[in-house]
Amino acid sequence: MKKKIFIAINLPEKIKSELVSYQEKIDRFFDDTCPIKWTKKDNLHITMFFIGFVEYDELIDVFNKTEKALEDLEPFKIKIDSITYGPLGKTPKMVWANGEKIPSIVEVNRKLEESLFEIRPTEYEFTPHITLGRIIQWQFKRIDEDQIPQIEEYPNLSFNVNSIDIMESVKGRYVILKSINL
């Protein structure tokens, strides 16, 4: 049986609560119905790498390769410095809490690409972000362009990362399969 697997940084409860307060604030920006399906508090995280569907008997290999890619990574701090529509520079599909780019996790993301997929890294550089909500396109398109609220919030949130988790998506909730301490 296949499992939907990704590698993530889970957030402390306090950070999740702060982000939910931003969700509620942004929800009030819209006059009528908010065209955003908000991410549940328990599901807020940073996806470092989406692996996809993996057979149960392949999980040990995923665990081992992930541990190898993370072996030199020291604990670090992530600062969440803005909340915007995302992806940046494109038609908005989501609302993101953006973290500052940290060279060590950009490098780890490249190592994960190479070890898990045995491919050359793309030109894309990993930037930590948390999906606060997904835009419901048909509702969003019904809003006059000049009536679309601008989302530019600048929280001053930061937290320490001491572990990275291999997660499974199960019916809309996320389950930690393995936690790797840094």
Burial 113-127 (b: 16+ CB within 10 A, else e): bebbeeeebeeeebb
Closest CA to 22 of 77, 96, 101: 96
Phi, psi of 77 (to 5 degrees): -115, 140
Report pLDDT for 148.
Answer: 84
How high is the pLDDT of residue 78? 93
What is the pTM for the complete model shown? 0.88
Local confidence pLDDT in tens for the 182 residues of the chain: 889 999 999 999 999 999 999 999 999 998 778 999 999 999 999 999 888 999 988 999 999 999 998 988 899 999 999 999 988 666 789 999 999 888 877 888 888 887 776 655 556 677 889 999 999 998 888 888 888 888 888 899 999 999 999 999 998 899 999 999 99
Residue closest to 110 by CA, chosen among 69, 169, 62:
69
- Domains identified in the chain and CATH numbers: 2-181 (3.90.1140.10)
Residue 124: per-residue pLDDT: 65
